[in-house]
Amino acid sequence: MGSAASTEAVQKEVAAKNVEEIAAALKELPADQLSKIKEAVTAGAAATPCPGPVDCSKVKVVAKDYKGLMEQPKEPKFKGALCQIFVRSQPYGGSDKSNNGHRYDSVPFANGMITSGMSCQLIHYTHEEHDAFFDMCKAFNFIIVRCNPGQIKADGGDQQKFDDSMRTLRKAGIQIWPSPDVMEKMGAKDALCKVATMNIGLEDTLAYYSTEEFVTGFKKTMAFQPRVIKQNRGSSGEGIWIIKLKDGNYCKEYGERSCEDGEKLSLMEANDNHEEEHTVAEFIEFCVSGRSDKSGEWTSKGVGKYLEGGKAAGGQLVDQRFCPRIVEGELRYNLIVDSLIGIIHKKPKEGGISAVGGTGSTYTYYGPEEKLFESLTTNFLKKDLPHVMPALDLAEEPVPLWWTTDFINSSPEGTKPEDEKWIVGEFNCSCVGISRCLAAYCKDDTPSASFDDISEEDKAEAKKYGDLMGEKALAILSK
């Protein structure tokens, strides 16, 4: 026993002496060499798999490092995680990744939680380890989901299985931002029907879930005035059609007549502003059955079949009045829970209607206090926002952590700014990016992009967003 104690004492003495010698040697090194050693030590610490209070060792670590991530609190107020997906079949792991495997904007999200006194570990879902992954997730109080729609399937996984497991965690009291139900109901185009009677809605907004509903409803609305028909599943404007009667023979009162199958339609698709001409019957056939002998020749990149699978599978079409002032552009409100952080005015290229990225549109940025849109901001945030989640059958869910709302001016030209009526074009909460961090995502001309490529100014702005998210998240969890 005495021998063992003696040996331990000698080992401690040798270790202490070694530390003293190393410290003395380091003092003698030139500053540039000392800096390199510090960088190497920091990189080694950053490579620790999924640092934080929850043990993640039972699932595969995908990330190469955790550059930019703050140190996790030793006694967090709440334990959280940010869930990502690395698409192994795609270059760089998907079009939203930095060179270390994280989403390009994950760090500001996580650091915002940490700044508020919570932990937030950066984790990756792999479908092969589904059960182990969700077993690990039970140890968290909240999970921020940052998996772009379609990425889980692209990586070979099952989106429905993933969503159902997230629903199970939510039922167990773990906060999911956004939960699958929030993503589904806010992202669905028929959300516009559910807010139709609010200040931000149009009462003549209809939803179709079956061929019969669509044929009857569309022929009646189309005979009355120009329409916008929106599919539920598309993205970036694909399957959103602005439609006018070629002959302009609209009836004076809604329901006075219905269109005939052979009437000609002038159509423009919002994804690229291309124009087509089809009969009413051909348009209906394309929407229901896709390209066929009855649908005529289409130049659209889409395949139609918008009602395929029925309501349960997301098959639906929304029919909304066309607002001519869309040519002036639309407003995107960027929000963190119930706080507006910025407004983007997206103006289409001359002659176009859609301001989707890549169509030559012009973007102008405004602060949240912009006087031009004061009336809309007040009406939306104070009057309508408290009622949005209940209207969407989401009364038990908080407003999303990071989301956007697009607005279109539905007022006649000449209306005073304070009297203008802006209506919702769509809500988006599935995986809204932080544009200030775009320099950190890899693409062919920047294959090694990382957190370090974000300018200091943009990092500071992204930090403000993250810190506000952390503040709001903590308040919601504390309730």
Whether 40 has a pLDDT exceeding 60, the answer reads no
Residue range 466-475, pLDDT digits in tens = 999 999 999 9
Whether residue 141 is contained in a domain is answered as yes
Separation CA 149–CA 100 (nearest Å): 21
Residue range 51-98, pLDDT digits in tens = 999 999 999 899 999 999 999 999 999 999 999 999 999 999 999 999
Does residue 251 share a domain with residue 141? no
CATH of the domain at 127: 3.40.50
Of 162 and 21, the structure prediction assigns the larger pLDDT to: 162
Proportion of the chain above pLDDT 90, given as a percent: 76
Q: Give me the domain span that covers residue 24.
A: 2-46
Question: Bridge-partner residues for 121, per DSSP?
Answer: 81
Burial classification of residue 466, based on how many CB atoms lie within 10 Å of its CB (0-12 exposed, 13-18 middle, 19 or more buried): buried
Separation CA 206–CA 225 (nearest Å): 14
Cβ-based neighbour number of residue 209 at 10 Å? 16
Separation CA 284–CA 287 (nearest Å): 5
Select from 323, 348, 369 the last residue of a domain.
Answer: 323
Does residue 113 share a domain with residue 37? no
- List Cα–Cα distances, 166 to 82, 86, 474, in angstroms: 13, 18, 20
Residue range 251-281, pLDDT digits in tens = 999 999 999 999 999 999 988 889 999 999 9
Q: What is the pLDDT of residue 103?
A: 97
Q: How many domains does the chain have?
A: 3
14 falls in which pLDDT band (50, 70, 90)?
Answer: very low
Cβ-based neighbour number of residue 63 at 10 Å? 21
Does residue 38 share a domain with residue 12? yes
State which amino acid sits at residue 393. D
Whether 318 has a pLDDT exceeding 50, the answer reads yes
Whether residue 365 is contained in a domain is answered as no
Whether residue 350 is contained in a domain is answered as no
163 falls in which pLDDT band (50, 70, 90)?
Answer: very high
Does residue 92 share a domain with residue 9? no
Does residue 219 share a domain with residue 146? no
Does residue 275 share a domain with residue 222? yes
SS (H, E, C) 238-304: CCEEEEEECCCCCCCCCCCCCCCCCCEEEEEECCCCCEEEEEHHHHHHHHHHCCCCCCCCCCCCCCC
Say which residues have a Cβ less than 8 Å from residue 441's Cβ, sequence separation at least 6. 92, 95, 96, 97, 98, 104, 449
Report residue 258 as tokens.
């219905």
Does residue 93 share a domain with residue 39? no
Does residue 305 share a domain with residue 208? yes
Does residue 61 share a domain with residue 10? no
Q: What is the pLDDT of residue 4?
A: 46
Residue range 104-124, pLDDT digits in tens = 999 999 999 999 999 999 999
Whether residue 426 is contained in a domain is answered as no
Whether residue 254 is contained in a domain is answered as yes
Question: Bridge-partner residues for 103, per DSSP?
Answer: 97
pTM for this model (two decimals): 0.79
C-alpha torsion sign, points 277, 282, 286, 287:
positive
Whether residue 289 is contained in a domain is answered as yes
Does residue 313 share a domain with residue 275? yes
Whether residue 295 is contained in a domain is answered as yes
Q: What is the pLDDT of residue 30?
A: 72
Does residue 74 share a domain with residue 36? no
Whether residue 13 is contained in a domain is answered as yes
42 falls in which pLDDT band (50, 70, 90)?
Answer: very low
Does residue 160 share a domain with residue 60? yes
The answer to whether 125 and 85 are in contact (CB under 8 A) is yes
